[in-house]
Structure 1
Amino acid sequence: MNAYVIAHLRDPEKQHPDVAEYLERIQSTMDPFSGRFVVHGGAVDVREGQWSGSVVMLEFPSVENARDWYESAAYQAIVSLRADHLEGEVIIVEGVEPDHDSAAMGAELRKAL
């Protein structure tokens, strides 16, 4: 099952040479783990709540691949290039199967209530 690394960057417009280097190097750290960008700072259309900043989303074939990438020596060697200059949060989350059924999930929740 696919997994996603999601970063909420609060001030993505902040410019720094370290961030440019991070961007130049990140893909090569993801390649051994079959990672790819799904979202990379596109426009955010806020429909509910408050939001500041941008979103970056990476896709990996599994949670294990995502964790292994994040913890890899190659990524750990560059993560501070971003983290020292861009405030935000980073999470890893497992996706759902292609046949995911939210109605069945709701019915199970209703039974439990």
Structure 2
Amino acid sequence: MTAYALGSFRDIAPHTAGGTHRDILEYIDRIQATLDPFGGRFLVHGAEVHVVEGTWPGNLVLIAFPDLTQARAWYASPAYQALIPLRTEHVKGPIILTDGVAPGYDPSQLAAKPRA
């Protein structure tokens, strides 16, 4: 079952005189190489978020993996762990890993359980 890594990033450190902080640029340059061995691919990365309910402070990143085992292995990998400080020293926000739903998922089945 497809799994996802979701990041909600905010409080991005001020840009340097030349633009985006060089550590963030290095993180962006290197992250795909950490995803490739685990089948990770970006679905959303830095796109404008259109909030229609509530608030959403910051940017959204969504990465798909073949399964949760691969997502967890990517996050724990030495290659990705080495990149984390490049991001966390300049950007705040959580990252979560979660399973998706199976093909044919029917949300009404979730509501049926408490009714039974």
Relative to the length of structure 2, the TM-score reads 0.90
Q: 1:82 aligns with which of 79, 87, 92?
A: 87
Structure 2 letter corresponding to 1:4: Y
2: CA distance, partners of 1:94 / 1:25: 25
Residue 8 of structure 1 corresponds to 8
Kindly indicate whether residue 72 of structure 2 is the aligned counterpart of residue 67 of structure 1: yes
How far did residue 107 of structure 1 move?
Answer: 1.5
Structure 2 letter corresponding to 1:85: H
How far did residue 73 of structure 1 move?
Answer: 0.4
* Structure 1 residue ranges (4+ consecutive) displaced by more than 2 angstroms after TM superposition: 11-15
Q: How many residues align?
A: 111
How far did residue 13 of structure 1 move?
Answer: 7.7
**Stretch of structure 1 that moved more, 11-20 or 81-90:** 11-20
2: CA distance, partners of 1:7 / 1:109: 32
Kindly indicate whether residue 51 of structure 2 is the aligned counterpart of residue 51 of structure 1: no
Structure 2, unaligned runs of 5 or more: 15-19
Structure 1 letter corresponding to 2:3: A
Taking every aligned residue pair, what percent have the same amino acid on both sides?
Answer: 46
Structure 1, unaligned runs of 5 or more: none
How far did residue 109 of structure 1 move?
Answer: 2.7
Kindly indicate whether residue 39 of structure 2 is the aligned counterpart of residue 24 of structure 1: no
